[in-house]
Structure 1
Amino acid sequence: MDDQRDPTPRLLPNRFAADAAGRSPVRAAERCFHQPNARVRFHGERQDTSSAGWRRLLELIDEAAADGRDVFRPLVDLTPSERADLVTLPPTIAKLTRVRHFVLYGSPLVRIPPEIGAMTSLEVFEPYTSYSLHWFPYELTRCPNLRSSTVSTRALYGNFKYRPPFPRLQPAGALAAQPAHDGLDPQLWSVEAIRGCSVCDGQVDPATFQQLWISLRVATDVLPLLVNACSTTCAEALPKPADGYIPHPHQGGRAVPQPQPDW
């Protein structure tokens, strides 16, 4: 019998719509969890808003907002050097209210801004293989249609596989000692600016402000979410954490007991 198999190799579809050029080598050697006795801290990189990559990303966001597209894959339209400029996303992602599918495959990002909560049409969020994204803003829970996520969960604080510790947050009221709320040290505060309450979206009173960690299921994955709470009232309004994780909002640190890792 003749071998009628097609010798041509079959190409598999790339569900992330990003080829090798869409990934970034920046922070590819991420080792935050490879030193178990080291102090756990946030990434301290600051975003250079004068860089070519940041300016190009602003343009791409404006274009996507203007044409009303429902799929946004910004990294594939950036050069490797432009992608290397990125530490976070611009607050202007709040304009992407019609985007349903947001792809950040292989990004070099170390944090996502709270303005992602304004992307109210978002259904699918894919920051897969973004190995320096160890946490997400609580504002992600404001996306009412979000139903699917693809996250590299082993890179997350408190993940079920390895249970790496959460960074210790600043004590309640510590914001009052800061001269400004838009020039913060991200290695201590996680962000460079605190603009509002994660829970009620109200203004922040530095005297009553507090930060908390909570692990919640968001779409497909349980994510470590950082809460910027304007008051004890908002902190007490947080939902019950996901089963199998720290059962209450907390301030992090190695002293906080976690369930045993799932080896």
Structure 2
Amino acid sequence: MNQKIQRIENDVQDRNSAAWKKLCEYVDKVAQEEREEFSPLEELGQELFSQIYTLPESISKLKKVKKVWLYGSNLKRIPPEIGQMESLEYFDPYTSYSLHWFPYEITRCKNLKDSRVSTRALYGNYRNRMGFPDLTNNPVHYSGESVHCSICDKLMSYEETNQVWISLTVGTDVLPLLANLCSTKCKDRLPKPPEGYIQFPHKGGSALKQLPDEDEMLELEMMQQDKEGDIPTESTTEDNKASGNEAPVLLKLIRKLWEK
């Protein structure tokens, strides 16, 4: 299990850079022209796009955008305003390896049915269970001195909010989401995570107990079968091959060796 805890970064973006200014201009143009796709790499070019580490809060104006293309970005975070992109259907930040989490507000994109995310880079993902940073004292700050409750939209100071992690299905992926909460009542309104993930909102940190990762699950399955005397021999493997029913654990082991 990978328990390495990443440090939370704030002020990740130079908002006076040429890259940021051009991105903001591009957002305005997409909104004004009511375009259905948002692809900053095409507009900025690789050199400027590589200097973008977050998106502007003005993405809230992209009411008509259905597809967001962020492939290969250096993004480190997405602002909560993505929740106001009411037409969003497809979200692709694939190979954005510094993007470890997302704002809870992305769940407000009710038309978002399809996504492509590099799951190995996500906090708490089933492949390596990357550790969640500790949210004690609400360390995540967006632009500005206040933040809205992720559930009821109440405006709060960062001292008032309660920040928690929760893993939920968004599009076609399970994403680690950061929620800013104003009360226990709003915390109780959070949905239940899918099976295979921590089943409650939490603060993260090194003491957090996560479920076994993919490799550990394989080892546990093999130990269990060994204990039960079910490890397939060469002869039983051949019989299973002939019947088209090979041992699933052996197949998993072969797959893992192949991947390495």
Report the TM-score range of the alignment, normalised by the length of the smaller protein.
0.7 to 0.9
Are 1:189 and 2:155 matched, yes or no?
no
Deviations 1:58-109 (A, max 9, x none): 1111111011111111112113331232110000000001000111011111
Select the residue among 71, 84, 87 that pairs with 1:118. Answer: 84
Amino acid in the other structure paired with 1:75: L
Are 1:53 and 2:19 matched, yes or no?
yes
Select the residue among 57, 63, 67 that pairs with 1:91. Answer: 57
1:200 alignment partner in structure 2: 152
Amino acid in the other structure paired with 2:19: G
Provide the identity percentage: 50
Cα distance change of structure 1 residues 168 and 74 upon mapping to structure 2, 3 Å threshold: same
Partner-residue secondary structure (3-state), 2:127: coil
Conserved? CA contact 1:106–1:127, under 8 Å: yes
2:205 alignment partner in structure 1: 253
Select the residue among 12, 18, 28 that pairs with 1:62. Answer: 28
Matches within 5 A, 1:201-240: 201-204=153-156, 208-240=160-192
CA distance in 2, matches of 1:50, 1:206: 25
2:96 alignment partner in structure 1: 130
Cα distance change of structure 1 residues 233 and 211 upon mapping to structure 2, 3 Å threshold: same
Q: Which has the larger radius of gyration?
A: 2
Partner-residue secondary structure (3-state), 1:216: strand
CA RMSD of aligned residues (A): 1.8
Compare the two structures and name the one with the higher helix fraction.
2
Amino acid in the other structure paired with 2:186: C
Conserved? CA contact 1:42–1:190, under 8 Å: no
Partner-residue secondary structure (3-state), 1:201: coil
Are 1:241 and 2:207 matched, yes or no?
no
Cα distance change of structure 1 residues 60 and 165 upon mapping to structure 2, 3 Å threshold: same
Conserved? CA contact 2:100–2:123, under 8 Å: yes
Deviations 1:144-195 (A, max 9, x none): 1000000000000000000011000024xx6xxxxxxxxxxxxx32544442
Give 5+ residue unaligned stretches, structure 2: 216-260
Q: Which moved more, 1:120-129 or 1:78-87?
A: 78-87
2:107 alignment partner in structure 1: 141
Cα distance change of structure 1 residues 150 and 40 upon mapping to structure 2, 3 Å threshold: same
Conserved? CA contact 2:37–2:65, under 8 Å: yes
Partner-residue secondary structure (3-state), 1:195: strand
Deviations 1:16-57 (A, max 9, x none): xxxxxxxxxxxxxxxxx9xx5654312355211110011000
Conserved? CA contact 2:75–2:99, under 8 Å: yes
Give 5+ residue unaligned stretches, structure 1: 1-32, 175-187
Are 1:103 and 2:69 matched, yes or no?
yes
**TM-score between both structures, scaled by the size of structure 1:** 0.77
1:18 alignment partner in structure 2: none
Cα distance change of structure 1 residues 196 and 131 upon mapping to structure 2, 3 Å threshold: same
